Structure 1
Amino acid sequence: MRFTSCILLLQALLLANTAQAQSNNSTNNGTNALTQCQQSIVQQLTNIFENSVKYFPWDYCENIGDGRGYTCGIVGFTTGTHDALQVISAYAAQLNSSTPNPFGPYMSRLIQLNQSTIDGSTSGLDGFCNVWSTTARSDQLFRTVQVDMVNQLYYNPAMAYAARNGLQFELSKGQMYDAAIQHGTALSEADSLPSMIDRTTASFKSGPNSVPGGLSEVDWLTAFMNVRIETLQNPAYKPSQAGWSQSIYRVKSYQYALSQGSVHFNDSLTALDNDGNTVSIGCDLTLWNYVGPPLPIQTPKKGILIGVLIGVGVLVLLIVTFCIIKRRLVAEWVSELSYRSKRAISRMSR
Structure 2
Amino acid sequence: MNLTDKQKLICEQIINVFETGSTQGNYSAISIFHDGPNGIRQVTYGRSQTTEYGNLEELIEMYVGRNGIDSEQLQPYLPKIGVTQLVDDHEFQQLLKDAGKNDPVMRSVQDVFFDKRYFQPAMNWADDNGFTLALSALVIYDSFIHSGSILPFLRKRFAAVPPNKGGDEKTWISQYVDARHQWLATASNPELHPTVYRTQCFKDEIARNNWDLSKLPINANGIHVSGV
- State whether residues 166 and 212 of structure 1, in contact with CA within 8 Å, keep that contact through their aligned partners in structure 2: yes
- Which amino acid in structure 1 is aligned with residue 167 of structure 2? L
TM-score after normalising by structure 2: 0.86
The structure with the larger Rg is 1
Q: State the distance in 1 between where 2:75 and 2:174 align.
A: 45
Q: State the distance in 2 between where 1:211 and 1:51 align.
A: 33
Corresponding position of 1:317: none
Are 2:65 and 1:93 aligned? yes
- Which amino acid in structure 2 is aligned with residue 91 of structure 1? Y
Post-superposition CA distance 1:217-238 (Å, at most 9, x none): 2210111112212432455xx5
* Equivalent of 2:219 in 263, 272, 279: 272
Post-superposition CA distance 1:123-172 (Å, at most 9, x none): 56331121011112222221111111111111001111111111121001
- State whether residues 252 and 272 of structure 1, in contact with CA within 8 Å, keep that contact through their aligned partners in structure 2: no
* Equivalent of 2:167 in 205, 215, 219: 215
Q: State the distance in 1 between where 2:169 and 2:180 align.
A: 16
CA drift at 1:38: 0.9
Change (3 A) 1:282 1:254: same
Q: State the distance in 1 between where 2:186 and 2:226 align.
A: 34
Post-superposition CA distance 1:253-297 (Å, at most 9, x none): 01101101101135x5343332xx5x542223xxxxxxxxxxxxx
TM-score after normalising by structure 1: 0.58
For 1:159-198, list aligned pairs within 5 A: 159-185=123-149, 193-195=150-152, 198=155
- State whether residues 158 and 177 of structure 1, in contact with CA within 8 Å, keep that contact through their aligned partners in structure 2: yes
Provide the identity percentage: 20
Are 2:50 and 1:77 aligned? yes
Corresponding position of 2:21: 52
- Which amino acid in structure 2 is aligned with residue 80 of structure 1? Y
Change (3 A) 1:140 1:123: closer
Q: State the distance in 2 between where 1:102 and 1:269 align.
A: 43
Structure 1: 5+ residue stretches without partners: 1-31, 114-120, 186-192, 285-350
* Equivalent of 1:148 in 112, 127, 131: 112
Corresponding position of 1:40: 9
Are 2:101 and 1:137 aligned? yes
* Equivalent of 1:260 in 195, 203, 208: 208
Q: State the distance in 2 between where 1:106 and 1:233 align.
A: 36
* Equivalent of 1:105 in 57, 71, 76: 76
- State whether residues 33 and 159 of structure 1, in contact with CA within 8 Å, keep that contact through their aligned partners in structure 2: no
Post-superposition CA distance 1:288-344 (Å, at most 9, x none): xxxxxxxxxxxxxxxxxxxxxxxxxxxxxxxxxxxxxxxxxxxxxxxxxxxxxxxxx
